Amino acid sequence: MFDGLQTGLHNIALLSDAETRSITAENPTGARGGGAKAEPDGDSAASLLGAGWKVRPSIKLPPQSTTTIAEIEGPGTIQHIWLTVRPQAYRSAVLRCYWDGEETPSVEVPLGDFFCNGHGLRYNVNSLPIAVNPVGGFNSYWPMPFRRSARITIENEYWEEIPGCYYQITYALAPVPDNAAYFHAQWRRSMTTREYPEHVLLDGVAGQGQYVGTFLAWSQFSNGWWGEGEVKFYLDGDTGHPTICGTGTEDYFGGAWGFGDETFSTPFLGYPLYRREPAEVPQHGLYRWHIMDPIRFKHDLKVTVQALGWWLNRKFEPLTDDIASVAYWYQTTPHAPFPELPALADRWPRG
């Protein structure tokens, strides 16, 4: 039986009892027959056409407030999120997702970073679960199952109203398998030091699941090569030494030999941003999806990356860099509490 999760070319022709629904500003509840009901006023672009046309395609995000963009009764699976908004929202607005009535979110990430647009910048991404298309069309294809309910909010911490938030959330109402875990995503930011050149992407995870993705927004504070550090996965009781340890940052993201300053974007991994403007720090954006090679854990998980470069006589040099990250994973519930999300001033990108 199709359950909203097993979707692909191999079974797209199969019939199913699942029901497709979609939430937009034109149909904010996703109800059957609930779209295109808004009545235009005299200032509307649809005032000459009347109801049933493009009357309410977007919403405004009031300053210092939280807007709920989706409330869904399950069981079901969110299959696609499309969203576009002005760049002011990329770091100042926070995307949160709550499954089955939980009090704390399973997803808590600045809006742009969730879609692999870090540093408050807009650039294209061409991958399987995340696609960012001209000019700023954010797409997520991460399957997000829920059994009783789903709630998605956007908090605008910007000091002004952000107009023109467009979105569409498409989901399938269908039973969810017992062995389906819940989608999670968490944002962290830290300044590495020469004494402790390591950024923690994820820690304190408790439960069974699989780690499925990494996004890094890396600001470099020194000249030269910056990506020699290893990405490490501490699984199920690992303490001093990890079970999984890579050979270097560029290797983890699928490149080699320092990337050669070339960007790339592929279905499962990419380096879509390399930016070095005059009078600004160099900025990098990288993603890696563990879709074909999920990292499974039974009890707990910690993920780190080192900030290392080259120094005199080809010796490793610990770096002081600014690293922001999004970790994506699935796990059983309840999840452990997330660290407190940094305030807006501490999330603001460097120039």
Mean per-residue pLDDT for 260-267? 94
> Tokens 């059957």, residue?
32
Identify the three-state secondary structure at position 89. helix
pLDDT tens column, 215-231: 999 999 988 999 999 99
The percent of residues above 90 in pLDDT, for the chain, comes to 86
**So what's the pLDDT on residue 47?**
72
pTM over 0.85: yes
Answer whether residue 339 shows pLDDT above 90.
yes
Answer whether residue 283 shows pLDDT above 60.
yes
Q: How confident is the model at residue 38 (pLDDT cuts 50, 70, 90)?
A: confident
**So what's the pLDDT on residue 4?**
64
Helices (H), the chain: 89-92, 111-114, 249-252, 344-347
The full set of domains in the chain, from first to last, is 19-173 (2.60.120.1390), 182-338 (2.60.120.1390)
Rounded mean pLDDT of the chain? 95
- Beta strands at 182-191 and 322-331: parallel, antiparallel or unpaired: antiparallel
E strand residue ranges, 231-299 = 231-235, 244-245, 264-265, 269-275, 283-289, 295-297
**So what's the pLDDT on residue 40?**
79
Answer whether residue 149 shows pLDDT above 60.
yes
Identify the three-state secondary structure at position 303. strand
